[in-house]
Amino acid sequence: MLKNKRIVVTGGKGFLGGHLIRELASHGCAAIEIADLPEFDLTDLSSIRRMYDTMKPDLVIHLAAKVGGIGFNQEKPAELFYDNLIMGTQLIEEAYRHGIEKFVALGTICAYPKFTPVPFREDDLWNGYPEETNAPYGLAKKMMLVQSQAYRRQYGFNSIFLLPVNLYGPNDNFDPRSSHVIPALVKKCFDAMDRGDDSLEVWGTGKATREFFYVEDAARAICLAADRYDQSDPVNIGADFEISIRDLAELTANLCGFTGKILWDASKPDGQPRRRLDTSKALKEFGFKAQTDLTTGLKKTIAWYKEHRHLLHK
């Protein structure tokens, strides 16, 4: 599917995008183009049409999203809903109108109900309302699944919908205003060591659990799905493990070299109580299984941050 194809990656300048483009380059694509700000505002219909008309892709991989951690989701729920909804809706509609061969939509684990049985199975996706702090984002992304299935039924349009769990890795977003938990913890550890602090504070109780998916594994999963999977049923992609935020914080601090105390601000929300995906469908449908364990992935992420932090925080 990928060999000799023209591919557009929306959000290709972002964290996952950079890794995905490197992975795509190994598949013999005819061209790999990036549709991202400032050249293309994917909330604007005329910009999307210009992208399709000028780049003429065979296949679109839609990564672009407005995202952030719990604090950002609480601060900007309307923007997160509107921007993510309008990007997905217009990109799929125009892909159909432009005769695109295949559209790969990236959803989010935030689309799952708050109390989904663990591990999360794709069949449980509609069995409840998402966790309140990130529901607007999760539901906006989930509408791409509804659209994907509707367009396949009515138009025979080939689009697929992947559900990645929390990503991390080199070149992650370390901005404390919008970063997710791993880069936020890494930055907190180094900032505390810089100041000589003997403690650092983390939101929540630490009891919530999460699954973390190394970004290079995620890029490989997306390429395999783009190449081999042609159904509208959603597919989880993840690392197939679960760790508490408390254990994650202690492991991260240890790998960063921070020896102080971790204080927990229980007045702040934990978010969804537990998260872990059942990834058996990805293995069955397109042969994907994650290869990077958490400790290895964290070491690579921390090494990258140590090397680049002077540039990130100028």
Which residues form the catalytic set?
137
Question: Cα separations (Å) of 98 from 8, 55, 57, 161?
Answer: 13, 11, 9, 19
Q: Is 18 left (phi over 0), alpha (psi -120 to 50) or beta?
A: alpha
Contact indicator for 256, 144 with CB cutoff of 8 Å? no
Enter the tokens of residue 258: 């921070």
Question: Cα separations (Å) of 271 from 41, 153, 207, 221?
Answer: 30, 35, 10, 26
